[in-house]
């Protein structure tokens, strides 16, 4: 019998979900699902440190996902091997699930570095299908971005070396960018953390990667549907995963402790709420790194591709802190929002943790005269053939021809009004750039601060983002619902090097190079 406790229901219609029925009881025994992390990268031998500058401290340990071993002794270079392959893993009670993974791990192993480090990833494709690796949120060269338009996918048996400097600190992730509907669902994603140079100190740092996967009764990936709600709203799973397990993560949080929880939503399609219960919590970072000041909020909406970092302490008199996903389900013919636990920390022990010191962060100005553009998301259904479009054009349908949405000089402010005439929420992503959300439905936005690379455009709503297009290159822009991007909601922009490292660029770069 499969454990239903942590399963979320299969999608019935766009944005509506069938009831789980069995409730969502939390097992009270300790399952110890936190995989043992390998030790952080080696220290250089004693006699080698350069005279002028002491070698940087190794980045802090992050709990939750095994690390990729750094094979390079240079403390400023992280050099790792990443292999895409078929693996069978125990993710839910019952039989193992046949997956496609990076290094036999779901999520893929954690890659972490300090801002300014060089990261070299020797990638091997041992799958029977072509694939590429995209570094979501990293403002690196477009040649290393894993865009199938620029890099031909790595053939089965082939390899490719990604080599880049990580320019910004933050919680990022990597994932396949080829045949994404299937490759995502089968497990090709992992976490990438870039530490600030003067990173605030916490009792512990954790990373929690959320996914929802659709398993059949033998725990195998359920068939991919090519029509109906799976295309309309994207594939929604029936099993919620936290760091690759259908059971919530179990940890311990000492009273007085202050932790950093880095949360990544790595699913195909479903936007959800995130709430911390029993905690005193603040949002300290978004997609693009630390906020200028922490945001008091114990609940946020997270769309596929987005990240949030929370500062977490146990609430007064609480014995447990729980991170919950809030998901709409149908129960007794009613649409209700239900909580599903992702991580449960028992409050135990005592520590005296000094308040973390957050570095100064200055975001680029948003109240500026900017070039205005409009991107309209829509869908057509001609004789049962669904196509998704941006400004009336469909990309990705035949190969990788992406319509060009515009050419922009770097470091100039552009206000992009993204609107949608079709539900559900479209998590819209721009490669290689950050932006800020400035307007929703005609009203200024004040409760979604920070730099982002992905914004939820809710059905029949518009939102405006302001970007400085700081990173020259040819960049994909698309809905992060795999079923939408692969069926046309995909285009590109070209950012030309204006040569002007404007003040906006240096303030943003400076603000995030901690
Ligand atoms: Cu995370 Cu083009 O995507
Ligand atoms: Cu979409």
What ligand 1 atom has the least distance to the C-alpha of 476? 2
Q: Which ligand places an atom closest to the C-alpha of 133?
A: 1
How far, in Å, from the CA of 139 to the mean position of ligand 1?
Answer: 12
- Name the region of 148 (left: φ>0; alpha: ψ -120 to 50; beta: rest): alpha
What ligand 1 atom has the least distance to the C-alpha of 454? 1
Q: Which ligand places an atom closest to the C-alpha of 176?
A: 1
Q: Which ligand places an atom closest to the C-alpha of 287?
A: 1
Q: What is the pTM of this model?
A: 0.88
Q: Which ligand places an atom closest to the C-alpha of 482?
A: 2
pLDDT the model gives residue 367: 94
How far, in Å, from the CA of 227 to the mean position of ligand 1?
Answer: 23
**Geometric angle at alpha carbon 448, from 442 and 451, rounded to 5°:** 110
pLDDT the model gives residue 381: 82
pLDDT the model gives residue 3: 33
Which residue's CA is the nearest one to ligand 1's atom 1?
136
Q: Which ligand places an atom closest to the C-alpha of 487?
A: 2
Which residue's CA is the nearest one to ligand 1's atom 3?
136
What ligand 1 atom has the least distance to the C-alpha of 478? 2
Whole-angstrom distance, CA of residue 188 vs CA of residue 237: 16
Looking up tokens 């690196």 gives 140
How far, in Å, from the CA of 418 to the mean position of ligand 2?
Answer: 12
How far, in Å, from the CA of 431 to the mean position of ligand 1?
Answer: 7
Work out the burial of residue 220: count CB atoms within 10 Å of its CB; fewer than 13 is exposed, 13-18 middle, 19 or more buried.
middle
Mean pLDDT, contiguous 10-residue spans, the chain (514 residues): 36 31 31 39 47 68 90 95 98 97 98 96 98 98 92 96 98 96 96 94 97 96 86 91 97 97 96 97 98 93 98 96 95 93 98 96 96 95 84 73 91 97 91 98 93 93 96 96 92 91 40 36
What ligand 1 atom has the least distance to the C-alpha of 177? 2
How far, in Å, from the CA of 351 to the mean position of ligand 1?
Answer: 40
User: Around Cβ 46, how many Cβ atoms within 10 Å?
Assistant: 6
Q: Which residues contact 412 (CB under 8 A, 6 or more apart)?
A: 370, 371, 468, 469, 498, 502
CA distances from 47 to 53, 59, 72, 174, 207 (A): 14, 21, 17, 36, 34
How far, in Å, from the CA of 388 to the mean position of ligand 2?
Answer: 8
**Geometric angle at alpha carbon 193, from 127 and 297, rounded to 5°:** 120
Looking up tokens 């914004």 gives 455
Extended strands (E) in 384-502: 385-390, 404-409, 414-420, 426-430, 435-440, 443-444, 454-457, 462-467, 473-479, 490-496
Whole-angstrom distance, CA of residue 286 vs CA of residue 288: 6
DSSP 233-276: T----SEEEETTBSS-EEEEEEET--EEEEEEE--SS--EEEEE
How far, in Å, from the CA of 135 to the mean position of ligand 1?
Answer: 8
Closest CA to 302 of 324, 282, 280, 322: 324
CA-based end-to-end distance of the chain: 50
How far, in Å, from the CA of 433 to the mean position of ligand 1?
Answer: 12
- Ligand 1, pocket residues at CB < 6 Å: 134, 136, 175, 177, 305, 429, 431, 476, 478, 480
What ligand 1 atom has the least distance to the C-alpha of 431? 2
Q: Which residues contact 174 (CB under 8 A, 6 or more apart)?
A: 102, 108, 111, 133, 134, 135, 136, 146, 189, 190, 191, 192
């Amino acid at each position: 019998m499969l454990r239903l406790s942590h399963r979320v229901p299969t999608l019935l219609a766009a944005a509506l979900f069938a009831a789980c029925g069995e409730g969502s009881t939390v097992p009270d025994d300790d399952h110890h699902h936190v995989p043992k992390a390998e030790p952080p990268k080696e220290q250089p031998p004693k006699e080698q440190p350069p005279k002028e500058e002491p070698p940087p401290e190794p980045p802090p340990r992050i709990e939750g996902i095994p690390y990729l071993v750094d094979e390079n002794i240079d403390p400023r270079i992280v050099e790792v091997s990443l292999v895409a392959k078929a693996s069978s893993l125990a993710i839910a009670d019952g039989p193992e699930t046949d997956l496609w993974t990076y290094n036999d791990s779901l999520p893929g192993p954690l890659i972490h570095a300090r801002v300014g480090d060089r990261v070299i990833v020797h990638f091997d494709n041992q799958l029977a299908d072509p694939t590429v690796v995209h570094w979501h949120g990293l403002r690196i060269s477009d040649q290393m971005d894993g865009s199938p338009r620029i890099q031909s996918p790595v053939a089965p048996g082939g390899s490719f070396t990604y080599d880049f400097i990580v320019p910004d600190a933050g919680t990022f992730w990597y994932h396949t960018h080829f045949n994404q509907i299937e490759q995502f669902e089968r497990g090709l994603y992992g976490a990438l953390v870039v530490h600030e140079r003067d990173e605030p100190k916490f009792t512990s740092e954790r990373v929690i990667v959320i996914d929802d996967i659709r398993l059949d009764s033998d725990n195998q990936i359920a068939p991919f549907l090519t029509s109906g709600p799976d295309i309309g709203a994207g594939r929604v799973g029936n099993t919620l995963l936290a760091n690759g397990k259908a059971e919530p993560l179990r940890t311990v949080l000492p009273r007085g402790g202050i932790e950093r929880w880095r949360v990544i939503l790595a699913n195909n399609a479903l936007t959800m709420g995130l709430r911390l219960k029993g905690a005193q919590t603040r949002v300290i970072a978004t997609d693009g790194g630390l906020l200028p000041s922490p945001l008091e909020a114990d609940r946020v909406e997270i769309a596929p591709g987005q990240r949030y970092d929370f500062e977490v302490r146990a609430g007064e008199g609480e014995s447990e802190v729980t991170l919950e996903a809030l998901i709409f389900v149908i129960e007794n013919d009613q649409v209700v929002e239900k909580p599903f636990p992702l991580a449960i920390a028992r409050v135990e022990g005592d520590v005296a943790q000094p308040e973390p010191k957050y570095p100064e962060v200055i975001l680029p100005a948003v109240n500026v005269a900017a070039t205005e553009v409009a991107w309209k998301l829509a869908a057509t259904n001609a004789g049962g053939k669904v196509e998704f479009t941006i400004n009336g054009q469909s990309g990705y349908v035949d190969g990788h021809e992406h319509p060009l949405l515009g050419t922009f000089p770097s470091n100039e402010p552009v206000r992009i009004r993204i609107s949608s005439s079709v539900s559900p929420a479209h998590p819209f992503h721009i490669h290689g750039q950050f932006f800020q959300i400035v307007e929703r439905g005609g009203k200024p936005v004040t409760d979604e601060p920070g730099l982002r690379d992905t914004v939820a455009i809710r059905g029949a709503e518009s939102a405006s983002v302001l970007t400085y297009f700081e990173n020259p290159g040819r960049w994909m822009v698309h809905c992060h619902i795999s079923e939408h991007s692969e069926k046309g909601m995909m285009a590109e922009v070209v950012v030309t090097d204006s040569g002007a490292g404007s003040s906006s660029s240096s303030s943003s770069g400076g603000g995030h190079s901690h």
